[in-house]
Amino acid sequence: MEHIDICDLKRDYEKYKDNVVTVCGWVRTMRNSKQTCFIELNDGTALSNVQIVVDKNTFSDADNIVRQTIGTSLKVEGDMVLTPGNKQPFEISARNIEVLGESPSDYPLQKKAQTLEFLRTIPHLRVRTNTFNAMFRLRSELAFGIHDFFRANNFTYVHTPIITGSDCEGAGEVFNVTAHKYGETFESEEEFDATDFFRKKAYLTVSGQLEGETMAMGLGKIYTFGPTFRAENSYTPKHAAEFWMIEPEVAFADLDDLLDLAQRMIKHITKHCLDKCGDELVFFRDFYEKGLLDKLTIVANSDYAVCEYGEAVRLLDKADRKFEYPVSWGIDLQTEHERYLTEEIFKRPTFVTNYPKDIKAFYMKQNPDGKTVAASDLLVPGIGEIIGGSQREDDYDKLTAAMTERGMDLAPYRNYLDLRKYGSVPHAGFGLGFDRMLMYITGIGNIRDTIPYPRTTGFMA
């Protein structure tokens, strides 16, 4: 269909002065006066609309156009008229309008703004609102910014499996993958597994890290960027059952290198969004988080705080605040603690390092104190954790000891253990929650509004 994308028209509108142009889009609003009908048309390529002006006196099909409603799709041919001094620098004076698809009056997105909760029930239509138009363009741009960063830093992008035989985080929050049908009966769990599709247990991956580590031991620096799945029963604004993670893994690196990499990455991708999605971020500032642009400018340009877990516990213990979960050395930090640290104490993104080994995964590098591991989470105001990572245990004996201590079956991890047998090297990596990063960049308060089709416990639209 011959037409111009509205984003291109807006970028170069002066070039089209007095030309006849064709645009397509959906009607966002219609306003009628005696002589004229004004249509705000949006084709999704830009946040803002194009104004179409229909002169009722001269337009042959005016009656048909005037009766159209919000949501109708149109193809419009008309003259580009520059309107210096107006809010919009140009409009299109219609010559011809083809109605592509009418939209009856039960179209849910009428002029009145709908709540985000309601919009979650219509994921197939909410993308036509400003909020989701802006969100999904930012989501796309953020992904490009991430690839851009790693590519410029000698990382190879690898695809790790989605169906896997191991639970990387060891938290038991996996979705099982099975080809067995309802109603089949089995003598035992062993028989269930042995007769299943893979002849053994299979899960949807909770993290690409273990396979990422193997790739890094041959490619040096890798990153994954893919969907991950967790059957966590956490019904919170920041937990999704299906979310995307970016997991770099770096050979010849320790915890300090990891913090440096994470900070440079967050700065780069924030800057990228500021550069590429100015209109969208202004929209989020105006409607969702006052001060958003100032916040992002600081995130892109100044250094983050670093605080040891032990010190974090001391600070929380001293805090003039009653927490729902009491604080003492050894506890896993809860969102309320994480937010207090980053919002009230450090007032900027904060790396917490060297957590107690008992609350972290088996693969983390054991520190000489025998109590902590070389791990780090990055906490940000408004959300809490957005990155979790660590240096990895590269000593075969220490690693197997940590696994045995946790009662893990070593068999599914044989290949992983081989990495510690053949040319083991210090290495480190982290996982950035992509959807949480998007919450942070847009100021939107719920992860369900960053994902086109969110999945959470009890909810799959």
* C-alpha–C-alpha distance, residues 377 and 258, integer Å: 11
Among 71, 431, 443, 454, binds ligand 4AD (CB under 6 A): 431
Round to whole Å and give the CA distance between 275 and 291.
17
What is the Cα–Cα distance from 168 to 211, expressed in whole angstroms?
10
**For residues 125 and 123, what is the distance between their CA atoms, to the nearest angstrom?**
5
* Residues 131 and 55: beta-carbon distance below 8 Å: no
**417: three-class secondary structure by DSSP:** helix
Site string for ligand 4AD, 117-146 (x = CB under 6 A): ------------------------------
Q: Which of 109, 135, 138, 168 binds ligand 4AD (CB under 6 A)?
A: 168
3-state helix, strand, coil in the chain (%, to 5): 35, 25, 40
CB closer to ligand 4AD, 71 vs 431: 431
What is the rounded CA–CA span in Å between residue 75 and residue 71? 13
207 binds, among ligand 4AD, Mg ion, none (CB under 5 to 8 A by kind): ligand 4AD
Taking a C-beta distance cutoff of 8 angstroms, is the pair 74, 37 a contact?
Answer: no
Closest CB 252 distance from Mg ion, rounded Å: 24
- In whole angstroms, how far apart are CA 89 and each of 124, 130, 180, 276? 32, 20, 61, 21
Q: How far apart are CA 21 and CA 327, in angstroms?
A: 64
Residue least distant from Mg ion (Cβ):
388
Q: Shortest Cβ distance from residue 194 to Mg ion (Å)?
A: 34
Size of the site for ligand 4AD (CB under 6 A): 23
Q: Is 221 in the site for ligand 4AD (CB under 6 A)?
A: no
Regarding 209 and contact with ligand 4AD (CB under 6 A), the answer is yes
Does 416 bind ligand 4AD (CB under 6 A)? Our answer is no
Q: Is 349 in the site for ligand 4AD (CB under 6 A)?
A: no
Could you give phi then psi for residue 104, rounded to 5 degrees? -60, 170
User: Does the footprint of Mg ion cover residue 388 (CB under 5 A)?
Assistant: yes
Q: How far is CA 287 from CA 29, 85, 118, 132, 443, in A?
A: 19, 25, 17, 12, 9
Toward ligand 4AD, which CB reaches closer, 255 or 316? Answer: 255
Q: Which is nearer to ligand 4AD, 3 or 120 (CB)?
A: 120
CA-wise closest residue to 158 among 242, 267, 250, 266: 250
Selected range binding ligand 4AD among 81-89, 113-121, 415-423, 426-434, rule: CB under 6 A: 426-434
Task: Select 381 or 388, whichever has its Cβ closest to Mg ion.
Answer: 388
Amino acid sitting at position 107: Y
Shortest reach from residue 44's CB to ligand 4AD, in Å: 26
Residue 436 lies near ligand 4AD (rule: CB under 6 A): yes
Q: Which residues bind Mg ion (CB under 5 A)?
A: 388
Q: Which residues bind ligand 4AD (CB under 6 A)?
A: 168-169, 207, 209, 230, 232, 239-240, 243, 245, 247, 385-389, 429-431, 433, 435-436, 447
